[in-house]
Structure 1
Amino acid sequence: MYFAGGIAVDDMGYAMSRLDTESDLFDDGNDITEAGSSNRTDEPLRKVDDEIAQLTNISSGPPGGLCQFMPGKQQLPVSPVRMLAGREGNFSGRGRFSSADCCHMLSRYLPVHGPWLVDQTTSRAYVSQFSADGSLFVAGFQGSNIRIYDVDKGWKVQKNILAKSLRWTVTDTSLSPDQRHLVYTSISPIVHIVNVGSATIESHANVTEIHEGLDFISDEYRGYSFGIFSVKFSTDGRELVAGSSDDSIYVYDLEANKLSLRIVAHTADVNTVTFADESGNLIYSGSDDNLCKVWDRRCFIAKDKPAGVLMGHLEGITFVDSRGDGRYFISNGKDQTIKLWDIRKMSSDTSCNLEFRNHEWDYRWMDYPPKARDLKHPCDQSVATYKGHSVTGAQVAVLKHHTSPVRDCSWHPYYPMLVSSSWDGDVVKWEFPATEKHPPLRTRRESGANNTIEGDS
């Protein structure tokens, strides 16, 4: 690694950019002196390990001065009344709540009340997710059903999709940014796209509506079959990225209606992929080879060569999600840990990737073996690791209802609402108590629920 103009550059030529100050987060107006500034031009940037912790602390509370100058008891948390009074008095100088203020307010309204039934089927629920604006909710079930619920209209079913050519189950779904189309995948190289903005509620594939099939088999591998585990729209809705059982990443150009890129990305199933930011140039992937990889479409050093690799998980990776800034993302692993990554710490060397895979347990329903629970990857590059449902504070709630593994759990993007879906066939929501009465949940089970959702403060 070398330094040019106060900016660290690693061996692969990637600039290690300075810690960005996000003005909305710094409520006290204090500037942070950064390494590499005019006062310390000859020193390297400080390590970024503490950046997320610092930003989290800054963004999770109201302005410090508010407790000091507003009347009443000087203690945290600051009451909503005091927060509103501070906003009306333009205490922050912005004339509005900052992102930190919003975070502090919402943290007081945990969705611990419920559950209230969204849907109940005899099929296992595999995937579920809110749309970006929270107005729609999508749930995919084992078999061939995908349902889209209109959240703003009492969770009425907007679209009941009977999927086409499924093998075993729906493996993933993704809504387009404009919410006009949905794609769904299965253990098949064909991704189907449905117009969910049409007036028809019952969407039976190629009976009541056309479910166009997008062929992900490249010309050089014509006749070769594989399954797709993960699919995501780009921010502009023009492309799809997919991860597959043939260890590859695929990019599909929707405007040209053809496959535009295939990367042999890993040495095992690619379980999860996502675009890193709105540019669409960076792609994150996670695989059963225990690795997270970063792919930069602007500068492939060689065919199937990633921009960098991130090691730390002891088992395969099931899901990755980007912060959207092209720097940070999180991953969920079969080792029952969640890891936070900064791609500025990625490397090109994978010789330290040790596989601790234990074939005597099933990650879907068993605890990680005690003998492996405290193992640490010798080359762990993650910024932070979260495990055992204990992150930064005491447990504040346990939500009990499901009797089978909770396969997916989704936060509403704005409201204090959580939706869980499970192999017991139930999709239920948990909310902060409102003034209106909710009908009691009609359940098939009276007792014995031992699958729970746990939350930390």
Structure 2
Amino acid sequence: MSAIGDKNQFRIIVGSYEHNILCLSLDIPNQKENDAAKTPHFMPIFHFQAHSLSIKCLAVSRRYLVSGSNDEHIRIYDLQKRKELGTLLSHQGSITALQFSHPASSSEDAAVSKGSKNSKWLLSASEDHKIMVWRVKDWETVGTLKGHTARVNDVDIHPTNRIAISVSDDHSIRLWNLMTLRNAAVLKLRKYNTNGTCVRWLGAKGDYFAVGLRDRCLFMKLDRLKFLKK
């Protein structure tokens, strides 16, 4: 959200079952005493005919927008130029989740990324049981996170950008070391008799995470995970 004049302005990007991506600008006027009649205003910004099958997920990182679909493709778009840049083709199953790393915030990270505020990595999860790691500056694959034995439902990157967490239809939560691209820890969910459908880190330091199940939400500390022996 950004404040412009006397309005609050949002940009909303949605993907549809009709294979399209639509970006809308939503202007919400400040409600003053004499402005009660003002209503929010939607305005189309851009529209892409993105995929050949329904869109499953989207992710945005400042300049870039990526979309994942049942057609097994990941499309890349430049939000500044409003055009498609290309397609990532490494998965052999529907794309279920996309997640950019956090923009560099520390002086060390900024030096590595040469001052760029764009994300360094993109993670993509799929029904093929894999999580791919892509380098944003050239969109090359730098590794594959293997360990799940069923569809990966969601993935999220820790605020430090050093680890990631994922949930799968194999009844497990897995922690990944993004420095070594190896599985670092695992927690089984069999006692809940269901799978994790989504996962998110909580707090600025990422000491906690939340896992959404079909009938409940679990809140856990990072130290609940059983770390694997080196």
Q: Output the TM-score relative to the length of structure 1.
A: 0.35
CA distance in 2, matches of 1:270, 1:410: 18
1:295 maps to 2:130: no
* CA-to-aligned-CA distance 1:319-356 (integer Å, 9 cap, x gap): 1111144431111111121111012333xxxxxxxxxx
CA distance in 2, matches of 1:410, 1:327: 15
Shift of 1:267: 0.7
Determine which of 17, 27, 46 is the counterpart of 1:197. 27
**2:132 corresponds to which letter in structure 1?**
K
Contact kept? 1:281, 1:297, Cα under 8 Å: yes
Contact kept? 1:338, 1:385, Cα under 8 Å: yes
Shift of 1:308: 0.4
Q: What residue number does 2:183 align with?
A: 382
**2:18 corresponds to which letter in structure 1?**
S
Determine which of 269, 275, 280 is the counterpart of 2:100. 275
Contact kept? 1:330, 1:339, Cα under 8 Å: yes
Q: 3-state SS of the aligned residue for 1:197?
A: strand
Q: What residue number does 1:258 align with?
A: 83
Provide closer, same or farther for how the CA distance between residues 384 and 410 of structure 1 changes in structure 2, counting only shifts above 3 A.
Answer: closer
CA distance in 2, matches of 1:326, 1:410: 13
Provide closer, same or farther for how the CA distance between residues 210 and 455 of structure 1 changes in structure 2, counting only shifts above 3 A.
Answer: closer
* CA-to-aligned-CA distance 1:159-178 (integer Å, 9 cap, x gap): xxxxxxxxxxxxxxxxxxx9
Q: What residue number does 1:227 align with?
A: 54
| Bigger helix share | 1
Q: 3-state SS of the aligned residue for 2:179?
A: helix
Q: 3-state SS of the aligned residue for 1:187?
A: coil
CA distance in 1, matches of 2:131, 2:76: 18
Contact kept? 1:190, 1:213, Cα under 8 Å: no
Q: What residue number does 1:80 align with?
A: none
Shift of 1:420: 11
Determine which of 130, 141, 162 is the counterpart of 1:327. 162
CA distance in 1, matches of 2:183, 2:211: 28
Q: What residue number does 2:228 align with?
A: none
* CA-to-aligned-CA distance 1:367-423 (integer Å, 9 cap, x gap): xxxxxxxxxxxxxx4111122289xxxxxxxxxxxxxx9976878858xxxx99999
Provide closer, same or farther for how the CA distance between residues 410 and 197 of structure 1 changes in structure 2, counting only shifts above 3 A.
Answer: farther
Identity over aligned pairs, percent: 21
Contact kept? 1:389, 1:454, Cα under 8 Å: no
1:186 maps to 2:16: yes
* CA-to-aligned-CA distance 1:14-50 (integer Å, 9 cap, x gap): xxxxxxxxxxxxxxxxxxxxxxxxxxxxxxxxxxxxx
Contact kept? 2:171, 2:190, Cα under 8 Å: no
Q: What residue number does 2:69 align with?
A: 244
Provide closer, same or farther for how the CA distance between residues 344 and 421 of structure 1 changes in structure 2, counting only shifts above 3 A.
Answer: closer
Shift of 1:181: 1.0
Contact kept? 1:292, 1:311, Cα under 8 Å: yes
Gaps of 5+ in 2: 2-7, 30-37, 104-117, 205-209, 222-230
Contact kept? 1:216, 1:259, Cα under 8 Å: no
Following TM superposition, where does structure 1 have runs of at least 4 consecutive aligned residues deviating by more than 6 angstroms? 405-412, 419-423
1:307 maps to 2:138: no
Gaps of 5+ in 1: 1-130, 132-177, 204-208, 218-223, 347-380, 391-404, 424-450
Q: Output the TM-score relative to the length of structure 2.
A: 0.66
Report the RMSD for the aligned CA atoms in angstroms. 3.6
Determine which of 151, 176, 180 is the counterpart of 1:341. 176
Q: 3-state SS of the aligned residue for 1:198?
A: strand
* CA-to-aligned-CA distance 1:231-254 (integer Å, 9 cap, x gap): 1221xx332122221212222111
